[in-house]
């Protein structure tokens, strides 16, 4: 599961270097070996030519007779040995070194699915992606026909036929352009294209692409076999359609109405738009947002005020600036790297903690007692929030993976979950520190509010998850957008209800679960 944290993908560069060294060694020795073999071959050829010119005279010479026999006995043994050595050298290349990490097939699948997720969330153009561009900026070497083909194959295996086919089109284009020898050919690509068409119910295109395949390889037996099958289903479909038009099916013909978006689809759309930064909060809110220096909560802040940027009003979401130093960030990263575990989620069916595709990251928990740095950060959270830290959870450190994200969720536990009894109540507040800038993507977005918060290294976002009545505030639903470019590090402190009674008195507002205040609708960005 290396793909679930970029910090772990970094280990793979060591493995990469090992393979470079192994291949260097192998090719070096192979070249020497082939030089020897060629020398032998040339000698054989030269002597053979001489012999054929005048056989009796050549063999009449005892030295020639001797060397001929030698070439066919001991020399031949040497040649055989030298060929065998080649297979010894290759062992070095194919061997797994125990001291470096190797990615597994699930990492390849994870990375492929990440590309699809990014492409869909950020509306990336596959052609651009294949050229190594992210939103117009070149970040990587262009992909080869083989890169596109393997990506298509992985997605095919995962039954993502639409994206598999799109990548196969790219593979075909590049294959024709590159004219390189690969372990696959255009026929293999064409077969994937036509079969994905078939699987997606477009038999006509499947037939068309199979015919293209047969132009390249007329004897391809699977393709030859598929043609009559495709033709038959096309005829059947057409007959069905004709009957339907004549009303013979007994079914009434009705205009198909566009389906209403489900709640999930609506949230998905707003989530993706927010990730792209395509939405603005409405002017009636943004015009009332201010920045200030905070000096209350603790006498210490009189000497070192905290810069506060308001991001939203009701519920209040604020960003504290410059609340983690670079040195603190490095300490936190160093402490957590060796303890990273894949982030898990509660399976609502079984109640168990399980890894899930909708949360791709690795995390570690750090205790105040382990280091002065961690204890100091807890004290700072107390100053920032004015809340008690007595019932807070440990500091959670998170590094996101390839295309890493965390889909919309609440930080508080729903009534039926009963998850936080040991902390003396529900998660009253979240403090989310950003430990890195993120070049592209990776925003924290509030799907109900229409608010996108883009990571700023050293800053921390803060909001209350509960109403004053103690009920969960459904307006706080939020998500971590997929990371498009960069490594996103965050750490967070979850504060609980226990111990806040005098600091945050209750009231009876929003007493019933499910009540959401009226939130002004976010608006599409106008500056585009």
Ligand X SMILES: O=C(O)CCC(=O)C(=O)O
Binding-site ranges for ligand X (CB under 6 A): 406, 411, 432, 444, 478, 480, 490, 492
Q: How far is the CB of 492 from ligand X (least distance, A)?
A: 6
**Under 8 Å between Cβ of 209 and 165:** no
Nearest distance in Å: CB 472, ligand X:
14
Query: Are 64 and 58 in contact, with CB atoms under 8 Å apart?
Result: yes
* SS3 state at 495: strand
3 or 175: CB nearest ligand X? 3
Query: Nearest residue by C-beta to Fe ion?
Result: 411
With CB under 5 to 8 Å by kind, the binding choice for 464 among ligand X, Fe ion, none is: none
Q: Which stretch binds Fe ion (CB under 5 A): 262-270, 369-377, 405-413, 420-428?
A: 405-413
- Please, what is the minimum distance in Å from the beta carbon of residue 90 to ligand X? 45
Scan residues 35-94 and list those touching Fe ion (CB under 5 A): none
Neighbours of 249 (CB within 10 A): 11
DSSP conformation class of 2:
G
The least CB distance from residue 278 to ligand X, in Å, is: 18
Residues counted in the chain: 528
- Of 168 and 431, nearer to ligand X (C-beta) is 431
- Report the run of H or E that residue 244 belongs to, with start and end: helix 221-245
CB atoms inside a 10 Å sphere around CB 177: 9
444 binds, among ligand X, Fe ion, none (CB under 5 to 8 A by kind): ligand X
**Residue among 339, 383, 390 at smallest CA distance from 368:** 390
> What does residue 3 show for φ and ψ, rounded to 5 degrees?
-65, -10
Our CB check for ligand X shows the closer of 193 and 490 to be 490
Q: How far is the CB of 479 from ligand X (least distance, A)?
A: 7
Q: Which residue's CB is nearer to ligand X, number 68 or number 490?
A: 490
In angstroms, rounded to a whole number, what is the distance separating the alpha carbons of residues 404 and 417?
A: 26
Q: Residue with structure tokens 């395509």? A: 278
Pick the binder of Fe ion from 22, 160, 328, 411 (CB under 5 A).
411
d(CA 425, CA 378): 19
Nearest distance from C-beta of residue 480 to Fe ion, angstroms: 7
Of 35-43, 234-242, 350-358, 408-416, the segment contacting Fe ion by CB under 5 A is 408-416
> How near is the Cβ of 412 to ligand X at its closest, in Å?
11
Residue 490: name its binding partner from ligand X, Fe ion, none (Cβ under 5 to 8 Å by kind): ligand X
Stretch that binds Fe ion, among 36-44, 171-179, 296-304, 407-415 (CB under 5 A): 407-415
Residue 476 DSSP one-character state: G
- CA dihedral for 16, 18, 21, 22, sign (positive or negative): negative
CA 38, 40, 46, 51 torsion-angle sign:
negative
Nearer to ligand X, 226 or 270 (CB): 270
Q: Compute the least distance from the CB of residue 465 to ligand X, in Å.
A: 10
Q: Which does 465 bind (CB under 5 to 8 A by kind): Fe ion, ligand X, none?
A: none
Question: Count of H helices and E strands in the chain?
Answer: 17, 21
Q: What angle do CA 417, 422, 428 make, to 5 degrees?
A: 70
> Where do contacts with Fe ion occur on this chain (CB under 5 A)?
411
């Amino acid at each position: 599961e290396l793909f679930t944290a970029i910090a772990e993908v970094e280990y793979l560069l060591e493995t990469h270097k090992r393979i470079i060294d192994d291949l260097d060694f192998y090719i070096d020795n192979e070249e020497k070996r082939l030089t020897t073999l060629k020398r032998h071959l040339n000698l054989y050829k030269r002597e053979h030519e001489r012999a054929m010119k005048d056989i009796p005279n050549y063999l009449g010479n005892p030295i020639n007779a001797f060397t001929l026999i030698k070439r066919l006995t001991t020399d031949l043994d040497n040649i055989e040995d030298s060929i065998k050595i080649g297979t010894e050298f290759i062992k070095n290349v194919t061997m797994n070194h125990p001291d470096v990490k190797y990615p597994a097939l699930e990492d390849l699948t994870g990375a492929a699915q990440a590309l699809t997720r990014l492409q869909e969330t950020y509306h990336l153009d596959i052609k651009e992606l294949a050229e190594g561009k992210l939103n117009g900026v070149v970040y990587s070497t262009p992909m080869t026909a083989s890169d596109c083909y393997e990506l298509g194959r992985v997605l095919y295996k995962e039954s993502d036929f639409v994206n598999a086919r799109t990548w196969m089109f790219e593979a075909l284009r590049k294959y024709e352009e590159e004219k390189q020898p690969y372990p696959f050919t255009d026929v293999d690509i064409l077969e994937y294209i036509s079969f994905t068409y078939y699987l997606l119910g477009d038999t006509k295109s499947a037939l068309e692409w199979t015919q293209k395949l047969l132009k390249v390889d007329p004897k391809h037996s699977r393709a030859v076999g598929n043609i009559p099958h495709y033709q038959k289903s096309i005829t059947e479909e057409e007959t069905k359609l004709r009957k339907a038009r004549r009303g013979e099916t007994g079914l009434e013909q009705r205009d198909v109405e566009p389906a209403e978006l489900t709640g999930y689809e609506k949230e998905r759309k707003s989530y993706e738009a927010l990730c792209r930064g395509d939405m603005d909060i409405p002017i009636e809110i943004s015009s009332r947002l201010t920045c200030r220096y905070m000096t209350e909560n603790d006498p210490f802040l009189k000497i070192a005020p905290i810069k506060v940027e308001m991001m939203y009003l009701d519920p209040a979401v604020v960003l504290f600036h410059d609340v983690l130093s670079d040195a603190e960030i490095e300490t936190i990263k160093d402490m957590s790297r060796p303890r990273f575990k894949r982030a898990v989620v509660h399976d609502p069916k079984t109640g168990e903690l399980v890894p899930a595709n909708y949360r791709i990251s690795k995390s570690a928990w750090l205790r105040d007692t382990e280091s002065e740095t961690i204890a100091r950060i807890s004290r700072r959270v107390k100053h920032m929030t004015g809340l008690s830290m007595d019932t807070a959870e440990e500091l959670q450190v998170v590094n996101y993976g390839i295309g890493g994200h965390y889909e919309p969720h609440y930080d508080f536990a729903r009534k039926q979950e009963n998850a936080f009894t040991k902390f003396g109540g529900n998660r009253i507040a979240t403090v989310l520190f950003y430990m890195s800038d993120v070049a592209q993507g990776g925003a924290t977005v509030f799907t109900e509010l229409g608010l996108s918060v883009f990571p700023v290294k050293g800053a921390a976002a803060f909001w209350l998850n509960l109403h004053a009545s103690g009920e969960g505030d459904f307006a706080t639903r939020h998500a971590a957008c997929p990371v498009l470019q960069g490594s996103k590090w965050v750490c967070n402190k979850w504060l609980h209800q226990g111990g806040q009674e005098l600091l945050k008195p209750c009231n009876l507002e929003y007493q019933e679960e499910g009540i959401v205040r009226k939130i002004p609708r976010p608006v599409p960005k106008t500056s585009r």
